[in-house]
Amino acid sequence: MYSNTSLFLVTILCVGFLKLSLHCNAQGVSGNSKLSNLPQQTSPPSAEITEAREDIFNFGPSTNLIRVLQEIRDLTESGNVKDAQKMAEAALEKISESEENKFYLNQIRKEETKLYFKLAQDAMTAKEYSLASQYLSRYRKNVSLELEGRKRQREIVLRQDGKRDVSLVGKLVE
């Protein structure tokens, strides 16, 4: 019984002191209260905007090529043709071609080819003929790479299937 009574008295004393300190702080009696030492909120620092968006992607074997291709197309549609071209060039440069990613790298190369043509047109309208010539030479290089790839693919199909006449007359003769 003695322990219950002492516990009751200690609880009442603690509540009394707590109530007294809260009452004093509410009236502003205590100048050194913990609430007056709270830090003030300041505005957050401004976000830094990077010039080239190619740094956003970490190009490597696990890069999501669908996302890269979509980002290049989005940049092109929004008018950031130079950024899209830089991203496409960096992706083609840094990602090694394998059987799994061959299709998407070809799609990125096709987008890059379109971008070179667009950049060449823009340079021609700005009367920057040497720059337009550079873009057109890159455009021709990409077109020749694409044609070589198609030729190789056609030769592989011909070796596998043999020579067949695909014309209507050839099918009638067979």
Which pLDDT tens digit goes with each residue over 97-108? 888 888 888 899
* Residues sharing a CB contact under 8 Å with residue 138, sequence separation 6 or more, in sequence order: 116
- Tell me the pTM: 0.57
Q: Where are the domains of the chain?
A: 2-27, 62-161
Q: Measured between alpha carbons, how far is 32 from 21 in angstroms, rounded to an integer?
A: 12
Mean pLDDT for all residues in the chain:
78
Contact present, 52 and 83 (Cβ < 8 Å): yes
pLDDT of residue 16: 67
Distance (Å, whole) CA 149 – CA 98: 14
At residue 54, the pLDDT reads 42
pLDDT (tens digit, 9 = 90+) per residue, 127-143? Answer: 988 989 999 999 999 99
109: closest CA among 152, 143, 82? Answer: 143
Within 10 Å of residue 144's Cβ, how many Cβ atoms?
10
Average the pLDDT over 53-66 and give the result: 68
- Quick one: average pLDDT of 148-171? 75
pLDDT at 151 over 50: yes
The full DSSP string for 31-60 is: TT-GGGGPPPP-PPPPPPPPS-GGGGS--S
